[in-house]
Amino acid sequence: MNRYLAHSFNVLWFILKYALIILIAGLILLIIALSGAYKDLRAAGEQGLAGKNDLTAAVGAVKNQDWETALTLTVKARSEFGYALASLDASRSNPAIKNFGPVRVQINDLEYLLKTADILSRSLERGIPIASELKKISAGNGNHNFIDLPAADKGRFLKLIYESEPELNGLKANLDLARLNLDKIHKIGVLWPVYSQISDIKQELTQVSELLGKAAPLIKLLPALAGYPVASRFLIILQNNDELRPTGGFIGVYGIMESRNGEIISIDTDDSYHLDMPASLSDQWKMEAPAPLKKYLKVEKWYLRDSNWSPDWPTAAAKVAEIYHGENAVSGTSTLPFTGVVAITPDFIGDLLRLVGPIVVRSETYDANNFQPLLQYNVEVAYKDQDISSWDRKDIVNELMGEIKSRLFKLSADKWSELIKIADSNIAEKNIQVYFPNSGWQGLAKEMGMSGEVKKPAGDYLMVVDANLGAFKSDAVLNKDIFYTLNQSADGLNATVRLDYRHEGGFDWRTTRYRSYTRVYAPLGSHFISLKGVNESTADISVTDDPGLNKTVFGFFWTIEPGSAESAILSYNLPDRINVQIKAGAYELLVQRQAGSRINSLKAIFKPLSGKTREWSDNLNTDKYFTFN
């Protein structure tokens, strides 16, 4: 046995020895073959390194705002990267590079890196003149705050940004191309030692590209948002989501904001009841309230405070503006048309306070954590002990908004990125919704995700919309969970929505028995089966089709006592077209968030006729998509 093992070992060693000899000989031949390309490869490396050094120096000059030096170095770097790419291309004529795959791959990786550097130098070259000009405009402003610029300079500043939109689009395209080049580089190869740095660069390029993507429609909206070159006028509604309504909350306060050349000329808020309560409205105002408002709020007329009845913000905003203008006309007050209608919730204001810091108004400190409850207490209770009339109790909102506005316009430049992040997250969460009567601007608002429309996907859909009707601020103490189950059978698709709501409050000035008219929006053509868990005699169950929103709507009224929990279980059949999609091998579910809602958890379960059950669990801070193929 030992003799056979020894023989096997000798044979193996013989094979390995000659394999190593052949490998070494091959490497020697490869080196000899590559020697002809050495000159070109060396030139490419030296020129690429020179370009990298000049580009680094150019970035340093930009940070020092030495624009002339930065531009000179950037042009030089771009030229050096061009020479490096030409030298690298010349090396490809070498037979060893042309015919030997592993070497060719490494040369390609070097080319992708050099192309990325070339693109970045071109991008910097295009951006420096814009930055330089913006700096010249603000040169006389020692504090570097936009608000302190003279009116003429503000106009020049905004004009330059507006006209730079094509350049920024080109810059984004360049960054995307650079990222694609970096994606082609192999992890295992000649660039392996710096691959982690390449990954970091890709991430940074992605972030900047996404930011530029969001900036493009924002720049197109500059004339509307900034009042440039013609002044803009917005109707602002403040929605209190502690008293939840379809588009975000009860409209207790509204405001008129006028802007010109990027500056808010005025922002004046008022109590919505000041518009809704004059005696002249009682007989002359004829707009009839939706049936649930009439039945559960005991109101016959449709007023501004209740005007956001549709969860589709464009529909609701048009109605808000219509009622505002209509009530003013009946009261004998002329009004001007609005550039747009904006809805915000206290969550957005809280985030702004987190950025600008606490604000002291009337000897009390408002911060991100106490803003909403403290303001509610002062306008609902404390005003009575402060010798303030009920008519003037919400004047404090003007003082708060004025101070927030002042601090925002005095933000230092290093805080702007944080402000953009706050705006971005609040748009995604629907704490900011914007409507423009101008269809072009409205399209841009939709592109930016702030139009607040009820979406119309081709697949499955769910949206739960609560309307607090006479339950004070009880949404502040409601814990809500949503469960969606879809069962596929031979007869079709059966959907069940279970709403588990827990009331953790009591009876006091702020909270009481929860009273909600709840609507469940499903794909158009869905058919009602049953509603369980609620008092059917008082539920006022309704089933309606809304072709404009492409939805079937199931509505019902229910109540939840303080300290108790209730479950509403709605079942319905989905239209056949959803089943056809599933049979074709795909299922898509969009669960859309009601603006202002606070949902603890969302769980979706799909049980196919055959195969594995699918489950998804998530929050509902933003709209959620669930898919499988």
Q: Is residue 408 part of a domain?
A: yes
| Residues 539 and 424 grouped into a single domain | no
| Residues 486 and 610 grouped into a single domain | yes
CB 548 within 8 A of CB 512: no
| Residues 204 and 128 grouped into a single domain | yes
| Residues 117 and 157 grouped into a single domain | yes
CB 329 within 8 A of CB 335: yes
Domain closes at, from 447, 475, 498: 447
| Residues 443 and 489 grouped into a single domain | no
Residue 332, phi then psi, degrees to nearest 5: 85, 15
Q: Give burial (CB, 10 Å; 0-12/13-18/19+) of 502.
A: middle
Q: Is residue 13 part of a domain?
A: no
DSSP E strand stretches across 189-291:
232-240, 250-260, 263-271
End-to-end Cα separation, the chain, in angstroms: 58
Q: Is residue 427 part of a domain?
A: yes
Q: Is residue 481 part of a domain?
A: yes
Q: What is the pLDDT of residue 35?
A: 55
Q: What is the pLDDT of residue 33?
A: 47
Tokens at 228, concatenated: 């440039």
How far is Cα 304 from Cα 621, in angstroms, rounded to an integer?
Answer: 27
Tokens at 622, concatenated: 């933003």
Q: Would the pTM count as exceeding 0.75?
A: yes
Tokens at 225, concatenated: 């948002």
Q: Is residue 226 part of a domain?
A: no
| Residues 443 and 476 grouped into a single domain | no
CB 505 within 8 A of CB 476: yes
| Residues 394 and 524 grouped into a single domain | no
Cross-strand pairs, 489: 492
Domain closes at, from 157, 185, 220: 220
- Domain housing 342: 232-447
Sign of CA dihedral 480, 466, 343, 470: negative
Alpha carbon 72 to its chain centroid, in Å, reads 38
How far is Cα 536 from Cα 276, in angstroms, rounded to an integer?
Answer: 34
How far is Cα 22 from Cα 30, in angstroms, rounded to an integer?
Answer: 12
Query: Angle, to 10 degrees, between the axis of helix 195-220 and the axis of helix 416-428?
Result: 70
Q: Is residue 24 part of a domain?
A: no
Question: Comparing C-alpha atoms, which of 180, 177, 190, 185 is closest to residue 97?
Answer: 190
| Residues 391 and 288 grouped into a single domain | yes
Domain closes at, from 154, 187, 220: 220
Domain of residue 319, CATH code: 3.40.630
CB 464 within 8 A of CB 594: yes
Tokens at 414, concatenated: 């290093």
CB 49 within 8 A of CB 68: no
| Residues 535 and 431 grouped into a single domain | no
Place of tokens 């730079």: 164
| Residues 211 and 63 grouped into a single domain | yes
Q: Is residue 14 part of a domain?
A: no
Q: Is residue 4 part of a domain?
A: no
For residue 390, count other CB atoms closer than 10 A to its CB. 11
| Residues 442 and 502 grouped into a single domain | no
Regions in the chain scoring below 50 on pLDDT: 1-2, 4-5, 7-13, 15-17, 21-34
| Residues 167 and 310 grouped into a single domain | no
How far is Cα 247 from Cα 465, in angstroms, rounded to an integer?
Answer: 9
The total of structural domains in the chain comes to 3
